[in-house]
Chain A
Amino acid sequence: MTAYGVETRLGNLYPLVMAYWTMIPIVAVVNLIRKYIVSQGITRQQIRLIFIGFGFYASTATVGAVVLPIFWNTSRYFFTLVLGCLVFVGLTVFAIVKHRLFDIRLVAARSISYLLLLVILTVIYAGGLLGVAVFITKQTSLTGNLIISTVLALTIAFTFQPLRTLLERATDILFFKGRYSPNNLLYVLSKSMATTLTLSTLTYEVLDILVKQIKITKTAIVTLKNKQVYIAENPHTHGIIKITNSDYEELKSQDKLLIFDEIEEGSIKSLLRKKEISVVLPLHTKKDFIGFLMLGEKSSGDIYFDDDINILKILGPEMAVALQNAQRFEEINQFNATLQEKVKRATKELSLVNDKLQKLDLLKDEFITIASHDLRSPLATTKGFVWMAVKDIGKSSPSAKEHLDKALESTERSISLVNDMLDVSRIEAGRIELRPEKLNICQMASEVAEELANIAKDKKIEVSTNCKGNAFVKVDKERIHRVLTNLVGNAIKFTPELGKVGISVTKNGKMAEVAITDSGIGIKKDDLPKLFTKFGKIETSSKIPVTTGTGLGLYISKNIVELSHGKIWVKSTPGKGSVFTFSLPIA
């Protein structure tokens, strides 16, 4: 068999070698086909290119190196193998250059380091052998050579690993100058994301770190805010990627990591080209879609390597969670502010309403003042005239006197009714005005007993006072006088003829207690709580003719006593009598 000028003789195992060399591409092709089936887009195109190259190479190899030598016994066409190989390599290189098949720089760096390693090891081995032969043994024997070779082989075996590491490091420095450390980047970013809660600060810091470490020309974190695209805070004002609502929707419909170099021509690719975006990383939490991290070209002009993409893939979910937290925090803060604003507004409105109410209250007060004044005026005049008429005609005409007495009594009752109404309205408006002055309550008790003596005498009731010494209190004289008059008046009113009414004043600690005891009809237990309420009149048995009252007396008395820092209470036994007691602080 003759090839190019060289006589080639095939050994017996030549078909076996060929079979081995055929197996390898078959396995490779099977792998590629499997990959081709599952791959999409750019990877598919790359594999297609490799297929074409490989197909060419395989067919030339089969024809030139297998079929022709075996069946026609000629190695004349061996060169086609080289041609096919060149086409294969060419297409593969094209795939790499055009479509970023793998990190070519890494391959270059590793190739160089391995090449250097090979050179160094060869020098050690060959140099070692030569050195020994020239300087030590002078002549070579098989045994000597064997020993030397073994020693050298061992030396190589032990120095291989450290030497390789050393060379890789050296070539890395040369090839990947200025490259960031992925671990450091992850650490810094994670730390920032874990410690920042304000949305603007978070995006600011994250983008700053990314731009400074990976050295990117343009960046953006894009989210939605009130259904509008929101380009988050960015430290590099000249390097912000800006997209519109429709761009956002289009990218969202893709919902996957987009790398400009790897996607096929189409609307997305032109969008990315127009906006100078190299990478679009969708940010997802487990449940929600948050937005995008967008990166422009690296300032070095490098492509995004697998390392970069892997880091981004790790960062994505973490960044999404951090962004969501920050968004929620912002929402809570905003909600808080809105709430405060609302409370403030409501408070203002309330205070306006309150002002109005106060004005209305004043008007009401004024109305009551005028109404009571205007009611009292004619009553006062009537009272005066009737009183004079009683005096003038009374002596000559007993029947006229009786009529006029009744008119006078009615007038008096009207006056006290107006007085009571006025007091009640003041009590309820909280506008009752007390004029406290120091007085002897014992003395007042005697005065009231005296004032009411006439009425008591009509019913043959004896009114006694029991007060040892003095009991000074600081109260509104007129009003306490009314309380006392009211209580003693009631006692007389509800006591049958020939009964007894007693007023006693005793000191009990810091309080002076005034008790009005009667031997009257008493009050049923069920009626007791009603007594001090407004219009709390109770039904009495018909045995005693009781003149009508307003039912306001005890209510007013209770309020006046309480406003004077005292208390009022009652004990009663039906059929036997009652004891009304009020206390006032001793002055």
Chain B
Amino acid sequence: MTKILLVEDDKNAISLYKQILESGGYQVEIAEDGEAGLTKIKEGGHSLVLLDVMIPKMDGLAVLSALKKDPPKTPTGKIVLLTNLTHNSILEEAKSLGAAEYLDKASLNPDQFLEKVKSFLQ
């Protein structure tokens, strides 16, 4: 079963994306802050990482730059930003730090979201 890591702190958002992803047939693992996210990414075993930016302890960009400095030994899937931030500069920076893409939470409905996830897993 394809395992997806969701790094997100908002309880409601976690519940929403967990339901959507599970309805799409994916196994979902949760990390509720940047540090936990970083540890889990390093442990590996995820086909895709959905990383929020505004999260406690370490923000999404910090997680990305830590990964860039010290890449995980076990291969990991694509890292995709899942955020409500729309600043081009932040998104560009994330891309330069190794994020594959970004998803704007507010502009997608669950169907569109699942479609995007599917495309990242191909």
A interface, CB within 8 angstroms of B:
369, 372-373, 376-381, 383-385, 387-388, 391, 415, 418-419, 422, 433, 435
Contact = CB atoms under 8 A, between A and B. Distances in A.
A435 B12 CA distance: 32
A419 B84 CA distance: 10
Interface of B: 10, 12-13, 16-17, 19-20, 54, 83-89, 92, 105-107, 109-111, 113
A78 B7 CA distance: 146
A388 B10 contact: no
A369 B89 CA distance: 12
B106 A383 contact: yes
Given A387-B110, A388-B19, A381 B13 contact: yes
Given A373-B54, A383-B106, A384-B109, A419 B86 contact: yes
B106 A379 contact: yes
A369 B85 contact: yes
A369 B10 CA distance: 18
A384 B16 contact: yes
Nearest to B11: A381
Nearest to A434: B88
Contacts of A391: 110
Given A383-B106, A387-B109, A387-B110, A377 B84 contact: yes
A419 B105 CA distance: 13
Contact of B12 (A369, A378, A433): A378
A422 B106 contact: no
B16 A376 contact: no
Contact of B106 (A376, A388, A435): A376
Contact of B86 (A372, A377, A383, A387): A372
A384 to B, nearest CB: 5
A475 to B, nearest CB: 14
25 contacts: A369-B85, A372-B86, A373-B54, A373-B83, A373-B84, A373-B85, A376-B84, A377-B13, A377-B84, A377-B105, A378-B12, A379-B106, A381-B16, A383-B106, A384-B113, A387-B109, A388-B16, A388-B19, A391-B110, A415-B106, A418-B106, A433-B87, A433-B88, A435-B88, A435-B92
B86 to A, nearest CB: 7
Contacts of A435: 88, 92
B85 A380 contact: no
B88 A380 contact: no
A239 to B, nearest CB: 76
Nearest to B14: A381
B79 to A, nearest CB: 20
Contacts of B87: 369, 433
Q: Give the most central of A387, A418, A419, A422: most B CB within 10 Å.
A: A387
A435 B19 CA distance: 34
Contacts of B10: 377, 381
A387 B89 CA distance: 30
B32 to A, nearest CB: 15
Contacts of B83: 373
A380 B89 contact: no
A422 B85 CA distance: 11
A380 B86 contact: no
B82 to A, nearest CB: 10
Given A369-B85, A422-B86, A433-B87, A380 B13 contact: yes
Nearest to B88: A433
A554 B16 CA distance: 34
Nearest to B20: A384
A556 to B, nearest CB: 13
Given A369-B87, A372-B86, A373-B85, A388 B13 contact: no
Nearest to A422: B86
Q: Give the most central of B20, B87, B89, B106: most A CB within 10 Å.
A: B106
A303 B82 CA distance: 106
B98 to A, nearest CB: 19
A303 to B, nearest CB: 91
A435 B105 CA distance: 20
Contacts of B12: 378, 381, 385
Nearest to A382: B12
Given A369-B87, A381-B10, A433-B88, A376 B105 contact: yes
Nearest to B111: A387
Contacts of B13: 377, 380-381
B110 A380 contact: no
A51 B36 CA distance: 126
A348 B110 CA distance: 55
Contacts of B106: 376, 379-380, 383, 415, 418-419
A380 B113 CA distance: 12
B112 to A, nearest CB: 10
Contacts of A422: 86
Q: Give the most central of B12, B19, B92, B113: most A CB within 10 Å.
A: B12
A380 B20 contact: no
Contacts of A373: 54, 83-85
B107 to A, nearest CB: 7
A376 B12 CA distance: 13
Contacts of A387: 109-111
Closest 10 CB pairs of A and B: A380-B105, A376-B84, A380-B106, A433-B88, A384-B16, A376-B106, A415-B106, A381-B12, A387-B109, A377-B84
Given A387-B110, A415-B106, 7 more contacts: A379-B106, A380-B13, A381-B10, A384-B113, A385-B12, A419-B106, A435-B92
Contacts of A419: 86, 106
Contacts of B109: 383-384, 387
A373 B13 CA distance: 14
A433 B84 contact: no
B43 to A, nearest CB: 27
A387 B113 CA distance: 12
A433 B87 CA distance: 8
A26 B25 CA distance: 149
